[in-house]
Structure 1
Amino acid sequence: MTQQIAAPTRRHPVFARFYAKVAGPALDKAGITEHRTRLLSGLTGEVVEIGAGNGLNFAHYPPEVKRVLAVEPEPRLRALAEQSARTTSVQVDVIDGIAEQLPVPDGSFDAAVVCLTLCSVADPHAALAELHRVLRPGGQLRFFEHVRADSPAMRRVQRVVDATVWPLLMGGCHTGRDTQAAITAAGFTLTSLEKFAFPATRVPSPAATHILGTAERSRPGGTS
């Protein structure tokens, strides 16, 4: 099912073709399916996923999920996500929209999912504030993102590539964002976190450092 709304459209046609035909399959070959499965395991109820891309996560949602609202601003990727949504056992509604301006009421969802998305949104702090807003108290944020490297040398590389060609070539992606800090700054409480390099490569990549984990919107009274 597809819901039409008025929303800014962000076009990256060259990157969209590259991601759908090259990058996505390459990540599958590198073993990303395991991480997608862990990211979504145990979810229930109503879920919002921002930056859903061409819908590669849809097949991994557990049957306990009642509905997924998948938000994707890039037209070509969104069209592919609509096709993918028609083949899944879980109800997935694909809409046009941006992470910084979600067209849903406060406290609408039991969980939110970000998967290789916060690197490329225009304002990750605004996006996380929106996710905090639309989650119910006690709701979970599930995240799998590439982030700022630990080593000073690689951080310098990230600053250089982020200031030059990387965002232009990779659909607005930035390699050096401190996503962990941004999650806590948005008011979430981290409940689990793993950091690891992915995929395994012989030559170090500025986009190799990843985090996978969960965070929670506090319940009334400030308890997690």
Structure 2
Amino acid sequence: MSFYEDRILPHIIDRACSMGQVMKLRSHVVPNAKGTVLEVGMGSAINLQFYNPDQVDLVYGLEPSEGMRRKAQPNLSRSPVKVEWLDLPGEKIPLADNSVDTVLLTFTLCTIPDWHAALLQMKRVLKPGGELLFLEHGESHEHSVRTWQHRITPGWKKLAGGCHLNRHIADLIREAGFDIVELENLYVPKTPKIAGYIYKGRAVNPA
């Protein structure tokens, strides 16, 4: 891992992902988590403040970046719920089959290299009927915005830790075998459209 990826990028990502409007969206999604939770791409742990301790028994925080885990320490110290780190990438989830009640994805699928393998791993560990809660940015429904997203992504992902602007999040989730039962699309206010088109919703593991 380069100095940029370990020491600089975590601060950039944390700042970008903790803006006021983004935090408001997180506050709408995270409290729905229940039971044993797997948060994929926990990052700096900025979601922890939104978990409901009366509903959550344990949060497994999957985060392969040492820099992000280091950045998360202040939030971990204030966490209202118990957290256990898993320091492997999303494609390698070290949990048993059918072992979690909720999987949480917030601004994560854009960066996972093999998103399909990662989603299949999430489906494997999620109990039948368990919920996948997601808040992700991705491919816009507007042709003009999509065009720029596809043009910019090759260079953007080199600077933004592998982040893709042009992934159709809902299609990826469906392709992995989840049933989407709730979906809202919107642009984050005061954010460039190429990076601010949001997929917010809930999917169920039908297996």
TM-score by length of 1: 0.85
Q: Which runs of 5+ in 1 are unaligned?
A: 1-10, 220-224
Q: Offset of 1:85 from its aligned partner?
A: 1.9
Work out whether residues 60 and 84 of structure 2, in 8 Å CA contact, stay in contact via their aligned partners in 1: yes
In 2, Cα distance between equivalents of 1:60 and 1:101: 26
**Counterpart pick for 1:49 among 21, 39, 48:** 39
Match of 2:89, as an amino acid? I
Which one is further off, 61-70 or 20-29?
Answer: 20-29
In 2: Cα distance, 1:31 partner to 1:18 partner: 23
Cα separation, 1, equivalents of 2:112 and 2:57 = 27
CA distance in 1, matches of 2:100, 2:9: 28
The correspondence of residues 43-82 of structure 1 with structure 2, limited to 5 A, is 43-63=33-53, 64-82=55-73
| Residue 174 of structure 1, CA deviation | 0.3
- 2:109 matched to 1:118? yes
Shift of 1:196: 0.4
Matches within 5 A, 1:204-219: 204-218=192-206
- Mean alpha-carbon deviation: is it higher for 82-91 or for 120-129? 82-91
Write the mapping of 1:52-201 to structure 2, written as runs, cut at 5 A: 52-63=42-53, 64-163=55-154, 165-201=155-191
Match of 2:25 in 1: 35
Task: Say which structure is richer in helix.
Answer: 2
Note the alpha carbon deviations across 1:116-166, whole angstroms, 9 max, x for none.
000000011111111110000000000000010111221111111112x10
SS in 2 for 1:207: helix
Q: Partners in 2 of 1:146 and 1:16 — Cα distance?
A: 23
Label 1:21 to 1:67 Cα distance change in 2 as closer, same or farther (>3 A). same
- For residues 13 and 139 of structure 1, what CA distance do their matches in structure 2 show? 39
* Counterpart amino acid of residue 95 in structure 2: V
Other-structure match for 1:4:
none
| Alpha-carbon spacing, 1:123–1:86, altered in 2? closer, same or farther (3 Å) | same
**Contact in 2 for aligned 1:141/1:216 (Cα 8 Å):** yes
Structure 2: state its 5+ residue gaps. none
Indicate if the aligned counterparts of 1:45 and 1:65 stay in contact, CA closer than 8 A.
yes
Match in the other structure for 1:7: none
Report the CA distance between 1:70 and its aligned residue: 0.2
User: Shift of residue 82 of structure 1?
Assistant: 4.1
RMSD: 1.8
Query: Cα 1:16–1:39, aligned 2, differ >3 Å: closer, same or farther?
Result: farther
Whether the 8 Å CA contact 1:30–1:199 is kept in 2: the answer is no
The normalised TM-score by structure 2 is: 0.92
What SS class does the counterpart of residue 131 from structure 1 fall into? helix
2:88 aligns to what SS in structure 1? coil
Contact 2:86 2:94 in 1 (8 A): no
